[in-house]
Every structure is written in structure tokens, then in C-alpha cells.
């Protein structure tokens, strides 16, 4: 983890409100792991004051990709960066996805922008492991399948793929994995993660959840991003102990 | 060529420079040490310690506001015992002057914490937090009560030979009255200011953005208020002042010294650039060279009014 003055390279539009940016960040790229994030200073002055956390979408050599929705002033400023602009990035941060363990099938479950960390994870899953991706969104335009493998989609309004949410879709396909040793990697809005957590904990399915929260520092000093431990005995920090947690470690 | 004497003295405490890192913005030193060389910093002030561990407030604890942030962490900390066991060894290694911040919910607890910690050789001074706005008991109740602040100062002084700094609340009508009480009860310095009570609501859900409803406002938004409070103390009381409030740059730090601060603390800025302290150290040294100041302590209370 370090602070790197990186260079903004390019921007691509993924959906109407979702962007992918490419940044030249050789030092951070070298040590980044799937599921980790970076805390980005989106302006050179003190507006906005704090950095903004973004999950690492992909890494290619010296380049890092970040995917984000336009939420407010911070993300608008990031979108409007020009080629060669300097971008002050702190990272890589947090504990990413754990790839170790006994499984032969990796299942990715993403809701909306929750697809962001999966391109990098897809690349890092060992070659002998089968990957299946379940991707959900409110409507067709919110489904992000960017660089994901074996995708099944779900939309709340039924405009694309399965009519319903992505956890329901996954549940409906669960028996097709009966003979497999599955490991779930999930990222998305809290209600989705919570539904998935309930399902996985009830059926004793191995599951890792990447959670999102408001943050200030991103590396453990401000204590601003607590998440309750599963047993209710105090808090963990999303920035330092997460953002990826075992589904039996935290209360959503 | 280093011709500037950057060292300062607060009571019996000598610091190699006036740059301190504020309580609650450096944890116990380990995380921030990955970004900055703490041994070059004047000193670090630990996260508030209480006698027993505190888990802190439920989320959401923070939100950004114009030029600042609100926080209601709720004094989450490991407690005195665990601090001595697991945090002090690392803090010794970083070789920075260690100031322990203590928060408590009774005068007795302040005394007890000070008593336990004073035997730790690596702790060079105590900063007593009588002004946390985010806990139900203690906190601001003390910070708003002249008698309580006086008692806490006197009682903690009795159990330690080390300097006692009292961290004052800005949420009072006349902060200089509190400084006077600290001074008359033998306190060695005041740290001013702690955060200002604030809140922020989501206009669609009509709910407060932080769970505690109110939080402490920090960051550049509070700097003019902090400067005015430091100046007020400086003009009314001879006690040394440690200035705090929205310092982001060396210019901000110098401004605090001009209005009366002997040293200053960097807080919220650490969250954005954990190396701010060293950047500021370089800046204040250059300022001294440029303006022919041989001792940084000459800047303290050099205001021309």
C-alpha cells in the first residue's frame, strides 16, 4: 500500500451511467490483488475533501482499471478527467478475495456495479476451476457483464434474462451444481448480499462477500467504516479487515 | 543547510518540532507508519484510551460535509491494558514522542488511566480529552463544566509528573475561561480545539446521515473558528496552546502559531494524505528561512493586532 501519482489514460462508457477508466499506476498495479480497492483523490484542491474508494476492476501490466457509477460530485470529477491528468491514488487497500481452499467451481454473483471487481478476479482464478457468473440489475441497462465468463442475467423488471433478482436466479440453478464443490464470490448492494448470505449460511455454502460502505482514510486509522461482527461482538473495519468477508464473519 | 531551530517546549516537554499528529487520526501509529516516517514528526497523540475497551458507535459513523467531515466514532479503543500490552511495543520502535490521549466517563477513571499509564516510560505526556462530543456519558458534559475541567486537571496532575494537556471543547461561550482554569490547576497546556458539534440529514429519507444523529465537525471548515479560539486563549491566558483545527498545509500551521499556538496537530488531513505532517514540517522550515526566523518558537503569538 502506497500513494502513487498516477496518470489518467482513458475513459470508456459501459452503460449510460457507468464508466471504466484506465490509469497508469505501475507500483500499485504490481501488488494489487482481486477484491482490493484504491482510495482516489479526485481533485487537486480540497473539494471534495476526502478520497473516494473504488474497487480494482482489472489490472493489465502497469495499468489499473476502475469502474464506477456517477453518484455525486466526486465521481463526476473523476469521469471528467482528461488524458495525461495526474491522479493521486492510495492503494492497493484491504483484504481481497481468498482464492485458496477446496473448490472446483467458482460462482460470481454481482448486482449492478457489483460487477466491478470480477474482471480481475476472473483472470486470477486457477485455470482448472470452472467459472459461472450471475449478474443482476434493475433493468437491462443496469446489467454489467463486462469481461465476465458464462453469464446468466437477471433483471428486476424482466427486461433481460431471468425476471427477478440475481439471488433468486442463482437459487433456481443451485441444484445444477449439486455434484460440484462450489465457492461463491459476491459483490453488490447490501440487500442482495444479505439475501445471498442468508441462503449460503442456511445451506452451508462457501461464500465470500465484498461489501461497500462510506469511508474516509481507507487504511484503518479513522475507524469510520465499521461492520458488525456476525456474532454481534463488536465491529470489524471494512477498509482493513475487508472489504471481502466470509459470509459467516459479518452482519449485514 | 538546516539553520532553523525547530524545537519547541511545552512545559517540561521538549519536542524536536511543533508538528503533532492528532488523536483519532493516527490510531496507535502502526497503519500510518507505512506512509510516513513518524520518527521525524514532533510527536503523535494516540487514539483516546479509556480504562476498558470500547467498541464505538454503530455505523454510519462518518459523512463528508462542505470542506469537512462529521464523525461519531464513539471513542472506539482497545482500552488501557491492551494498549500497554500490544500497542506500546510498536510505538517504542517508531521512535516518536508519544502523547497518550485519555477519555473517561468519570474523574476517577481519568485518574486511574493516568496512574496506570504514567509508569510507561515511552509516554512523554498526557492529553486529557474532556470534550468528545460523541459519547453519552463524560465527553462534552465535562468539557462544558468549568469546575469539572478544573478537577480533572488537578486530580490527574496529582498522579503523574508528566505534562498534562487538556483538550478543550469549542462548544462553549468563552473558551479562555476553561484555559484559565486549566492553568490555575497546574495544567501544562491546552489543546484547542476539539471538533464542533454538527449534523447532516438526507433530504429524501429525512434521516440523519450518521447514526449518532450529531457528530464532531473537523477539517478546513472549522479552521477560522479554531484560529479565533486559539487567539482568544492566547490573549487571555499565559498557558501554552497546541493548535488544532483543519490544518492541511504549512501555511495553515503557521497561521495557528501566529495566533498563539506553540505546537499544532494535524488531524483530518492524515486521512487524505498520511504524509501531511512531513510536508508541513518542510514548509514551516522554509518559511522560517524565507522570513529570517532562527527559532520556530518565535512565531508563537507573533500576531500584529
Q: Do B248 and A240 touch (CB under 8 A)?
A: no
Residue B305 lies inside a defined structural domain of this protein = no
**Quick check: B82 contacting A, CB < 8 Å?**
no
Which residues on chain A are in Cβ contact (under 8 Å) with B271?
A: 50-51, 216-217, 221-222
Which CA distances in Å does B41 have to A237, B84, B146?
Answer: 27, 22, 33
Instruction: DSSP letter for A36, please.
Output: -
B238: burial class by Cβ within 10 Å (0-12, 13-18, 19+)?
Answer: exposed
Interatomic CA distance for residues B255 and B302, integer angstroms:
10
- Between the alpha carbon of residue A156 and those of residues A142, A169, B84, B115, B203, the distances in Å are 10, 11, 53, 61, 26
Q: Which of residues 178-207 of B touch A (CB under 8 A)?
A: none
For residue B216, give how far its alpha carbon lies from the nearest alpha carbon of chain A (Å).
12
Same fold, A2-93 and A105-246: no
CA neighbor of A244 nearest in space, from A163, A184, A165, A180? A184
> Residue B215 forms beta bridges with which residues?
B198
Residue B42 structural domain: 8-60+77-198+219-299
Classify strands A105-111 and A130-137 as parallel, antiparallel or unpaired.
parallel
User: What's residue B2's pLDDT?
Assistant: 58
Domain count, chain B: 1
Joined together, the cell numbers standing for residue A190 give: 447490501
List of chain A residues whose C-beta atoms are within 8 Å of the C-beta of residue B27: 220-221, 223
CA distance A81 to A40: 13
The ipTM is 0.95
Is B35 inside any structural domain?
yes
Query: pLDDT tens per residue, chain B (305 residues)?
Result: 458 999 999 999 999 999 999 999 999 999 999 999 999 999 999 999 999 999 999 999 999 999 999 999 999 999 999 999 999 999 999 889 999 999 998 999 999 999 999 999 999 999 999 987 666 665 667 888 999 999 999 999 999 999 999 999 999 999 999 999 999 999 999 999 999 999 999 999 999 999 999 999 999 999 999 999 999 999 999 999 999 999 999 999 999 999 999 999 999 999 999 999 999 999 999 999 999 999 999 999 999 99
What are the structural domain ranges in chain A? 2-93, 105-246
Say how far apart CA A146 and CA A127 lie, in whole Å. Answer: 19
State which residue of chain A sits closest to B70, comparing Cα positions.
A224
In this prediction, residue A14 carries a pLDDT of 94
Taking the C-alpha atoms of residue A89 and residue A38, their distance in angstroms, rounded to an integer, is 7
Residue at grid coordinates 499528529: B21
Contact assignment for A234 to B55 by CB distance below 8 Å: yes
Q: Which candidate, B122, B111, B54, places its Cα nearest to that of B84?
A: B122
B85 CB burial (10 A radius; 0-12, 13-18, 19+): exposed
Angle at A140 between CA A134 and CA A145, to 5 degrees: 40
Question: Is residue B226, in this structure, part of any structural domain at all?
Answer: yes
Domain A105-246 is of which CATH architecture? 3-Layer(aba) Sandwich (3.40)
pLDDT in tens, chain A (252 residues): 899 999 999 999 999 899 999 999 999 999 999 999 999 999 988 899 999 999 999 999 999 999 999 999 999 999 999 999 999 999 999 999 999 999 999 999 999 999 999 999 999 999 999 999 999 999 999 999 999 999 999 999 999 999 999 999 999 999 999 999 999 999 999 999 999 999 999 999 999 999 999 999 999 999 999 999 999 889 999 999 999 999 999 999
Judge: B31–A221 Cβ closer than 8 Å, yes or no: yes
Bridge partners (DSSP) of residue B266 are B21
Count of alpha carbons within 13 angstroms of residue A211, beta-carbon side: 30
CA of A225 vs chain B CAs: smallest distance (Å): 7
HSE (CB half, 13 Å, CA atoms) of B228?
9
- B60 in A contact zone (CB under 8 Å): yes
Percent of the residues in chain B that have a pLDDT greater than 70, as a whole number:
97
Residues A32, A35, A40, A42: is their CA dihedral positive or negative?
A: positive
The catalytic position among B113, B132, B237, B288 is B132
Report if residue B239 sits inside a domain: yes
For residue B113, the domain's CATH number is: 3.20.20.70
**Are A38 and A64 in contact, with CB atoms under 8 Å apart?**
yes
Q: Buried b / exposed e across A128-160, counting CB within 10 Å, b at 16+?
A: eeebbbbbbbeeeebbbbbbbeebbbbbeeeeb
- Residue B248 phi/psi, 5-degree rounding, is -115, -30
Question: What architecture (CATH level 2) is domain A2-93?
Answer: Beta Barrel (2.40)
What distance in Å separates residue B266's CA from the closest CA in chain A?
A: 13
Q: Contact A49/B69, CB-based, under 8 Å?
A: yes
pLDDT in tens, B83-106: 999 999 999 998 899 999 999 989
B132 tagged catalytic: yes
Is the full-model pTM beyond 0.80? yes
Q: What is the pLDDT of residue A29?
A: 98
Residue of A nearest to B61 (CA): A224
Query: Any chain A CB within 8 A of the CB of B220?
Result: yes
Q: Supply the DSSP string of B58-83, one letter for each residue.
A: PSP-EEEETTEEEE-----B--HHHI
Interface test with A, best of B56, B58, B61 (most A CBs within 10 A): B61
Amino acid at each position: 500500500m502506497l500513494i502513487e501519482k498516477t496518470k489518467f489514460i482513458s475513459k470508456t462508457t459501459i452503460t449510460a451511467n457507468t464508466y471504466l477508466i484506465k490509469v497508469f499506476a505501475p507500483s500499485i498495479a504490481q501488488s494489487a490483488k482481486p477484491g482490493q480497492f484504491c482510495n482516489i483523490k479526485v481533485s487537486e484542491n480540497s473539494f471534495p475533501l476526502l478520497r473516494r474508494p473504488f474497487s480494482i476492476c482489472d489490472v493489465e501490466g502497469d495499468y489499473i482499471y476502475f469502474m464506477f457509477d456517477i453518484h455525486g460530485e466526486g465521481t463526476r470529477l473523476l469521469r471528467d478527467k482528461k488524458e495525461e491528468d495526474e491522479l493521486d491514488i492510495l492503494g492497493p487497500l484491504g483484504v481481497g478475495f481468498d482464492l485458496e481452499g477446496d473448490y472446483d467451481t467458482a460462482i460470481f454473483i454481482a448486482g449492478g456495479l457489483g460487477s466491478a471487481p470480477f474482471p480481475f478476479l476472473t483472470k486470477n482464478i486457477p485455470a482448472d476451476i470452472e467459472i459461472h457468473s450471475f449478474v443482476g440489475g434493475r433493468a437491462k441497462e443496469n446489467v454489467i457483464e463486462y469481461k465476465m465468463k458464462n453469464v446468466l442475467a437477471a433483471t428486476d423488471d424482466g427486461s433481460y434474462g431471468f425476471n427477478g433478482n440475481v439471488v433468486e436466479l442463482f437459487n433456481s440453478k443451485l441444484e445444477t451444481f449439486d455434484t460440484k464443490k462450489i465457492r461463491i464470490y459476491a459483490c453488490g448492494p447490501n440487500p442482495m448480499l444479505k439475501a445471498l448470505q442468508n441462503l449460503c449460511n442456511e445451506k452451508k455454502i462457501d461464500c465470500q462477500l465484498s461489501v461497500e460502505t462510506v469511508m474516509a482514510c481507507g487504511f484503518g486509522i479513522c475507524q469510520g467504516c465499521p461492520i458488525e461482527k456476525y456474532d454481534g461482538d463488536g465491529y470489524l473495519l471494512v477498509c482493513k479487515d475487508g472489504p471481502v468477508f466470509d459470509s459467516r464473519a459479518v452482519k449485514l | 543547510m538546516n539553520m532553523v531551530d525547530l524545537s519547541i517546549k511545552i512545559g517540561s516537554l521538549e519536542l524536536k518540532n511543533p508538528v503533532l499528529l492528532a488523536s483519532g487520526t493516527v490510531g496507535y501509529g502502526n497503519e500510518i507508519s507505512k506512509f510516513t516516517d513518524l520518527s521525524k514528526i514532533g510527536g503523535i497523540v494516540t487514539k483516546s484510551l479509556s480504562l476498558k475497551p470500547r467498541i464505538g458507535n454503530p455505523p454510519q459513523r462518518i459523512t463528508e460535509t462542505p470542506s469537512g467531515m462529521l464523525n461519531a466514532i464513539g471513542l472506539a479503543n482497545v482500552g488501557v491494558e491492551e494498549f500497554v500490552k500490544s500497542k506500546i511495543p510498536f510505538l517504542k520502535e517508531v521512535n516518536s514522542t508519544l502523547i497518550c490521549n485519555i477519555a473517561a466517563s468519570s474523574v476517577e477513571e481519568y485518574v486511574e488511566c493516568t496512574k496506570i499509564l504514567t509508569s510507561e516510560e515511552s509516554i512523554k505526556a498526557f492529553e486529557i480529552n474532556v470534550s468528545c462530543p460523541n459519547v453519552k456519558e463524560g465527553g462534552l458534559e465535562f468539557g462544558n463544566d468549568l469546575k469539572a475541567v478544573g478537577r480533572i486537571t488537578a486530580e490527574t496532575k496529582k498522579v503523574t509528573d508528566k505534562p498534562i494537556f487538556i483538550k478543550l471543547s469549542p462548544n462553549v461561550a468563552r473558551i479562555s475561561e476553561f484555559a484559565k482554569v486549566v492553568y490555575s490547576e497546574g495544567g501544562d497546556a491546552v489543546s484547542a480545539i476539539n471538533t464542533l458539534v454538527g449534523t447532516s440529514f438526507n433530504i429524501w429519507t429525512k434521516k440523519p446521515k450518521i447514526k449518532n444523529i450529531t457528530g464532531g465537525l473537523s477539517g478546513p471548515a472549522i479552521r477560522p473558528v479554531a484560529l479565533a479560539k486559539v487567539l482568544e486563549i492566547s490573549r487571555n491566558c499565559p498557558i501554552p496552546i497546541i493548535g488544532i483545527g483543519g490544518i492541511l498545509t504549512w501555511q495553515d500551521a503557521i497561521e495557528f502559531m501566529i495566533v498563539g499556538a506553540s505546537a499544532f496537530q494535524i488531524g483530518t488531513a492524515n486521512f487524505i494524505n498520511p504524509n501531511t505532517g512531513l510536508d508541513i514540517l518542510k514548509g514551516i522550515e522554509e518559511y522560517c528561512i524565507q522570513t529570517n526566523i532562527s527559532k520556530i518558537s518565535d512565531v508563537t503569538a507573533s500576531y500584529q493586532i
